[in-house]
Structure 1
Amino acid sequence: MPGVFDPAAADRASETEWWRTVHSDAVEPYLIVAADPERTEPADATGRTLRITLRVSAKAPVARVFVRAIIDGIDHHVPADRVTIGSAFARYRAEVTLTAAATHYHFLLVTSDSQTLYYNRRGVHTIYPNEDHDFTVDLRHRVPQWVRSSVFYQIFPDRFCRADRSLGVRTGEITRGPFASREMAWTDAPLAYPQGGSLDFFNGDLPGIASKLDYLQELGVNALYLTPIFTAKTNHRYDCIDYFSVDPHLGGDAALAALCEEVHRRGMRIMLDVSINHIAVEHRWAQSSETGDDVIARNPDGSPVNWAGVPELLKLDYSVEWLRDRVYRDDDSVVAKYLQPPFSIDGWRFDVASEVGNHGPLQQGHDVWRDIRTVIRRINPDAYIVGEHWHDSIDYLCGAEWDSAMNYFASARPLRMWCGERDRFADIPVREAVGGRCPSGFELASLLSQHFDRIPNAARDAQFNLFDSHDVTRLHSHDTFDIDLYAGVVMLLFMLPGTCSIYYGDEIGLQGTTDGDHGKRFPMEWNPDRQDVRLRAIYQKMIALKRGEDALQRGSARTIDAGTEHLVYARFTDDTGFVLLLNRAERDRSVDVDLSLIAPVSCTDEFDGTAFDTTLPVISVPLPARTSRLLRCRPAPR
């Protein structure tokens, strides 16, 4: 990477390459916003003080450190004082006085031989960097703090559990085009679209979800994410017919209210999914609004815009004020209704969110999302806002729109590629050239860093990470599935900053196929004899760590090392560190890991208890073929 510090230039007299120990972050204790009891509004920043800290090896040849911050449009270089705490590290602290609610900064380090180095979120550089990867502060940018300690469990309601046999869609009850609904046995395989038209129903219901909350809590998850439950025709219910009623085949409004009440009684959270981008042709708004307005987006010839070319789905036109009122501005709007009693949901996941409000000359998406965030935050300041987006989503993550995208960009796509799957969004000419080539550890590190080290720091711990969902083939359904390789990817998912989502059944190796949407949505297997206990143990262990360890919730995140077939990734605080050695090599090997960034006094394998000698900063870790290891490191007391 151009400009990244060249280790050949490091001081070889020290025990390790000292530049690896340079570290800061935009969380405590590296960034502290001084409290001001006179101020009640966080955006009122004038005169507030930022206490900014950088840490480096106490033996590093660093003579001076400066914080370079933008104040009133001018770059200021604020000198930092050296404060040595403990024997391993020296800390440099500076105070910056704000004149606005937001600023950004990086560091300059002057060595004893008068070299100037630069440090930002992507590391140490020999040339001055641009500001894309500066540390950021925005006192207006608030995200729900409960998210980072949560583990979500995504449920496709029709396929999870059936508890009330009086509910459900009967054979022949619903028709659309050449298809008619068909009631399936729980042991049947789902029908491909040409055979079933998404009208094959297993009739899972909301009481069924409520009946399995004990199972979910035993697994360790503490947040539910339900795909759409509003009245619709198909089993996936993304073809909404009535936003204002829960589908009676799932139990109706009463069943949702009861589920939400029980979820909250248990100290859990619940997030619902909705598509406000399009509606079904059967929706009453498809004819006209209640005021007679046409709310359907139109092509130049006047024909309706069909989402993704599907004739049954009509795109909505947000230039119509009445539509904005009913979807999110009114007190009883779609967005507002379910945030309030008797439901009081804890978040919204918005389907195809990057497409909402955008079509041809009508580019109103960002305006719509700013309004929606304002409405949601007014009703519930702690509600979580997630938008579906498969690509770089930074435009939506700057504090005025979403809290997170469905993080396909920096979790699902890289992790699936690491396991050998071809990226579904590669350009067609490139796809033909590279096929299913796996990224190297260096490339995987860049795929993670280009997102997590670029989005605002406030958004980092709210990212919604995943690798499976209702829209992608289950990773374990591939013929090439290898449980050891898969276990490493599961560990990395739980190591990433933010929350993470488990797609129902992944924890027990639920059956699936790779040949269409039906293959991603098999009914849940409740027979313990048919569940993969090895996978369950891995998930249960990582869920417990994610929910119980501060380092995996708010700790710093760094790539320590990478190679052609491995990545060493760390999450750490001053008290605890976790180091993952992600390995794809086909042979047994050892990897030397420089732990000087953490300086542990003890280091053990989190799964098998193996202890490693930490008297030297570099430890050698044996790795069986395609097997990863997760190490727990305990730094010396400060």
Structure 2
Amino acid sequence: MNPSPTGPLSSAAHHDGSPAYVAEEAPALGSTVTVRVRTSPEAPVDEMWLRTTMDAEPTFHPCTRAPAADATADATADAQAVWWEAQLPVRNPVAHYRFLLVADGTQTWLTGAGTFDHDVPDAFDFRLPTHAPAPDWGRDAVVYQVFPDRFARSAAAPERPVPDWAVPAAWDDEVVFEGSDPRTPLQFFGGDLDGITEHLDHVAEVGADVLYTTPVFPGESNHRYNASTFAHVDELLGGDAAYQRLSEAVHARGWRILGDLTTNHTGDTHEWFRRALADPDAPERGYYSFRDDGSYETWMGHATLPKIDHTNPALRAAFVEGPESIVGRWLVPPYDVDGWRIDVANMTGRLGAVDVNAEVARAVRRTAVALRPDALVIGEHNHDASTDVDGDGWHGTMNYSGFSWPVWEWLRADDTPARSFGTPVPVPSRTGGQVVAAMRMWMGRLGWRATAASWNILGSHDSARIRTLVGSGARHRVAAGLQFALPGVPMIFAGDEIGLEGVLGEDSRRPMPWAEPDRWDHETLATYGALAGLRRAHPSLRRGGLRWLHVDDDVLVLLREHPSGSVLVTARRSASPEVVLPLACLGGTPVEELLRTGPAAGAVVRGDDVVLPASEGPELGLHLLG
């Protein structure tokens, strides 16, 4: 396989974890599952084998030619595709498998990362877990992230006393965002929870149906990731009663609400830590990772963020295990939180030679689903989360590596002031081929189901804003289209939908300009709402497979396939020529234009081809196939 695929990909062999290719997404241990591969008559395959590992030992199973995926064709091959199928034995909790294709004496591997003409590690094998998948609402969601201090003030907010630690700011003040400035975590704008409740109509206009807020627990900072307690909601946000009102208002709309919980550390003002410091014999001393000299482990060297020790049974009982734990108590009335986004999930339970991360993840999920059978647990992870999302722990992750970075690298403006997140050098510029190669590799590494449950994010409170990175509304709308069109769950950081800017994480936490709607990008706001509506209306955009049909430097064409109907997606980052695809590769004829953000004409059928006309600039197009 070319590491940077370009040109038409319509004849490539294909398999993914969607319903057209896998008969059962969560099979029982010990069962057998039918898996299918689509090949093209233009690239005939002589024989095919399924290779799986059973108890870590490779075994091969024959594939046979089969009817079309919709089971309506009685021929084994037609003008569109040749289908193969095999029986996959599910002997282990996660079945790993790949396909060996033989054509004209040449052997090719088909893996989760694509096709290879050489041997590749098992790390990219397809995966089929036996564990329960993420809840339907979590996979079908559009998530809206709110940073409470900067979203909205209710009428009661100005009446609350400003805490001693805070540097008060007016709503239209500039954000202090340089990390070396001590005011950065202390600048206090005073947004509160009732302010969020009062603006749920705006969340509805964006098209979201899950509200996720960063922490609401008290902490001596504007971000509140340095919690001083997990027992109640910060009075500066309106306290427990305001959180209850917000939860009730969210659920009254048929939506869901997610909390944000830091399981890796607390603040140094946390009641547990204060007792641990005051008395070396206190039970809470064992909650933290104290060294022999009395010092303690922290998050990334910050003394205000002492690290939790999850090897301590009492800590685990207090924090993550059982209905009375911190994880459990907020999932039941009166707050009824529907699940958690776990902060610093990648570091939780890991310290030097100690690694109980998987145990903690399982405990969080076990506690959550015992109280709410459809609870969702998403783990924060900004690099390779593949070893953390393959089983019965976190349902998914914030997919920076597999989604955010490739999209950033393809759409970045040449002169963007946006700063890279997590690396010491600027965001690079990549071609379409490089970007698709990266996406395919990450999807292969994470697995289909974990990818589909993870969040597609264009930015967050920790990163630059997408508008600053891409430099224009037109490219921003293309980015949003990819966010909604690719496998995964769209997560929108409040303000992205109106074109809010920011060069890095702290700068991105600018207050929402409610009083200045003339500053809003209303075209982009409408695009988000339209994309959310399309995703909700078409199962292919939520549960469908993914086939890349054409890739070049400036154009990406993909197909989201589902038995109920498929959607053809075209994304262009700049002016680009027409793209011609054979009708046979689509599995249907374009019958309706669902959305187009640029001036070019929609897809047209010309004989046996589909023509995607040339574009004069960045453009997004979605077409329904019949």
Q: TM-score under structure 2 normalisation? A: 0.87
Q: Is the 8 A contact 1:326 1:333 kept in 2?
A: yes
Contact kept in structure 2, 1:336 and 1:376, CA below 8 Å:
yes
CA shift in 2, pair 1:594/1:305, >3 Å: farther
2:395 corresponds to 1:400: no
Provide Cα deviations, 1:198-229, integer angstroms capped at 9, x if missing partner.
33322222122112222222321100110000
User: Which structure 2 residue ranges, 5 or more long, are not aligned?
Assistant: 277-281
- 1:602 and 1:633 in contact (8 A); partners too: yes
Counterpart CA distance in 1 for 2:383 and 2:372 is 28
- Cα distance change on mapping 1:614 and 1:149 into 2, 3 Å: farther
- Secondary structure at the counterpart of residue 312 of structure 1: strand
- The answer to whether the 8 Å contact 1:591/1:623 transfers is no
Structure 1 counterpart of 2:579? 591
**Residues 515, 379 of structure 1: CA spacing in aligned structure 2 closer, same or farther, 3 A cutoff?**
closer
Pairs within 5 Å for 1:436-447: 436-447=427-438
Confirm or deny: 8 A CA contact 2:9 2:549 kept in the other structure: no
Q: Any idea what SS the aligned residue of 1:622 has?
A: coil
1:502 aligns with 2:519: no
The equivalent residue for 1:488 is 478
Q: CA deviation at 1:249?
A: 1.6
Report the 3-state secondary structure (helix = DSSP H, G, I; strand = E; otherwise coil) of the residue aligned with 2:323: coil
Q: 2:345 aligns with which of 350, 353, 357?
A: 353
CA deviation map 1:471-509 (0-9, x unaligned) = 11212235x612222221111111121211111111112
2:300 aligns with 308
- Find the partner of 1:170 among 152, 158, 161: 161
C-alpha spacing 1:604/1:423, structure 2 compared with 1 (3 Å): farther
- Pick from 246, 254, 257 the counterpart of residue 267 of structure 1: 254
Tell me which of 278, 291, 296 is aligned to 2:283.
Answer: 291
Establish whether residue 257 from structure 1 lines up as the match of residue 250 from structure 2: no
Aligned: 1:76 with 2:63: no
5 Å-filtered alignment, 1:40-119, equals: 44-46=28-30, 48-57=31-40, 61-71=44-54, 73-83=57-67, 85-86=72-73, 87=78, 88-111=80-103, 113=104, 115-119=106-110
Which of the residues 443, 447, 456 maps onto 1:452? 443
Q: Name the CA distance, whole Å, in 1 between partners of 2:455 and 2:571.
A: 21
When residues 169 and 309 of structure 1 are mapped into structure 2, their CA distance, relative to the original with a 3 A threshold, is farther
Deviation at 1:74, TM superposition (A): 4.7
Matched with 2:22 is 31
Which position in structure 2 is the counterpart of 1:13?
Answer: none
**Could you say if the C-alpha distance between residues 292 and 469 of structure 1 is closer, same or farther in structure 2, counting changes exceeding 3 Å?**
closer
Shift of residue 590, structure 1, vs aligned partner: 2.8
The corresponding residue for 2:129 is: 138
Determine helix, strand or coil for the equivalent of 1:488.
helix
Q: Structure 1 residues 4, 146: CA separation in 2 closer, same or farther (over 3 Å shift)?
A: same
Matches within 5 A, 1:539-578: 539-578=528-567
Between stretches 315-324 and 85-94, larger displacement belongs to 85-94
Amino acid at match of 2:586: I
3-state SS of paired residue (1:204): coil
Q: Deviations over 1:297-344 (max 9, x none)?
A: 235643223323333222222233222111112421111111122222
Asked if structure 1 preserves the Cα contact closer than 8 Å seen for 2:473 and 2:499, the reply is no
Cross-structure match for 1:227: 214
Q: Which amino acid aligns with 1:424?
A: S
1:374 aligns with 2:361: no
CA distance in structure 1 between the aligned counterparts of 2:40 and 2:222, rounded to whole angstroms: 58
Q: Could you tell which deviates more after superposition, 375-384 or 403-412?
A: 375-384
C-alpha RMSD of the superposition = 3.0
- Aligned residue in 2 for 1:477: 468
Write the deviation string for residues 175-206 of structure 1: whole angstroms up to 9, x where unpaired.
Answer: 3xxxx442x33233334463635333222221
- Counterpart secondary structure, 1:254: helix
Residue of structure 2 aligned with 1:152, choices 138, 143, 167: 143
Matched residue, 1:38? none
Question: Is the Cα contact below 8 Å between 1:82 and 1:93 reproduced in 2?
Answer: yes
1:502 match: secondary structure: strand
1:187 is aligned to 172
Q: Secondary structure at the residue paired with 2:333?
A: coil
For the residue of structure 2 that corresponds to 1:26, the secondary structure is coil
Equivalent in the alignment of 1:606: 594
- Whether the 8 Å CA contact 2:226–2:267 is kept in 1: the answer is yes
| Contact kept? 2:578, 2:615, Cα under 8 Å | yes
Q: For residues 392 and 89 of structure 1, do their structure 2 counterparts lie closer, same or farther at Cα, with a shift above 3 Å needed?
A: same
**Which residue identity is paired with 2:271?**
R
Change (3 A) 1:247 1:118: same
Residue range with higher mean Cα deviation, 101-110 or 142-151: 101-110
Instruction: Could you tell me which runs of 5 or more consecutive residues in structure 1 were left unpaired when the two chains were aligned.
Output: 8-15, 35-41
Give how far 1:99 is off: 4.3
2:203 counterpart (204, 208, 216):
216
**1:534 and 2:526 are equivalent in the alignment:** no
One-letter identity of the residue aligned with 1:548: A
**How far apart, CA to CA, are the structure 2 residues paired with 1:464 and 1:253?**
28
Secondary structure of 1:576 counterpart: coil
SS in 2 for 1:541: helix
- 282, 303, 311: which one aligns with 1:319: 311
Contact 1:470 1:521 in 2 (8 A): no
* Aligned partner letter, 2:420: R
**Structure 1: distance between partners of 2:205 and 2:240:** 27
Taking the aligned partners of 1:387 and 1:617, their CA distance within structure 2 comes to 44
Does the residue aligned with 2:144 lie in a helix, a strand or coil?
strand
- Quote the Cα distance in structure 1 between the aligned partners of 2:287 and 2:549: 52
CA distance in 2 between counterparts of 1:3 and 1:330 reads: 47
Q: Which amino acid aligns with 2:495?
A: G
For 2:203 and 2:590, the matched residues in 1 are separated by 34
Q: Match of 2:608, as an amino acid? A: L
User: What is the Cα deviation at residue 135 of structure 1?
Assistant: 2.7
Query: Which amino acid letter does the alignment assign opposite residue 54 of structure 1?
Result: V
Q: Helix, strand or coil for the counterpart of 2:578?
A: strand
Q: Kindly provide the amino acid, as one letter, of the partner of residue 208 in structure 2.
A: V
Q: Of 364, 378, 381, which aligns to 1:389?
A: 381
The answer (yes or no) to whether the contact 2:61–2:87 under 8 Å persists in 1 is no
Deviations along 1:564-604, one digit per CA (max 9) or x if unpaired, are 3333233222443333333334x453334455432332265
* Conservation of the 8 A alpha-carbon contact between 2:61 and 2:86: no
Say whether the 8 Å CA contact 1:441–1:565 is kept in structure 2. Answer: yes
Amino acid corresponding to residue 75 of structure 1 in structure 2: T
CA contact (8 A) 1:354 1:389 kept: yes
Deviation at 1:552, TM superposition (A): 0.8
Give the drift of 1:526: 4.6
The farther-off stretch of 139-148 and 66-75 is: 66-75
Deviation at 1:107, TM superposition (A): 2.9
407, 417, 420: which is aligned to 1:424?
A: 420
* d(CA) in 1 for partners of 2:133, 2:114: 26
**Is 1:525–1:531's contact at 8 Å kept on the other side of the alignment?**
no
The amino acid of 2:558's aligned partner reads Y
CA offsets, 1:86-110, max 9 Å, x none?
A: 4433433333454454423333444
Per the alignment, residue 191 of structure 2 pairs with: 204
1:230-249 to structure 2, matched below 5 A, reads 230-249=217-236
C-alpha separation between the residues in 2 aligned to 1:318 and 1:104? 30
Deviations 1:528-574 (A, max 9, x none): 33321111122111111222211111111132222233332332224
Cα 1:336/1:265, change in 2 over 3 Å: same
Deviation at 1:157, TM superposition (A): 1.0
Identical counterparts, % of pairs: 28
Number of residue pairs the alignment of both structures matches: 602
1:581 aligns with 2:570: yes
Structure with the larger RCO, 1 or 2 (CA within 8 Å, 6+ apart): 2
Instruction: Verify the 8 A CA contact 2:145 2:213 in the aligned structure 1.
Output: yes
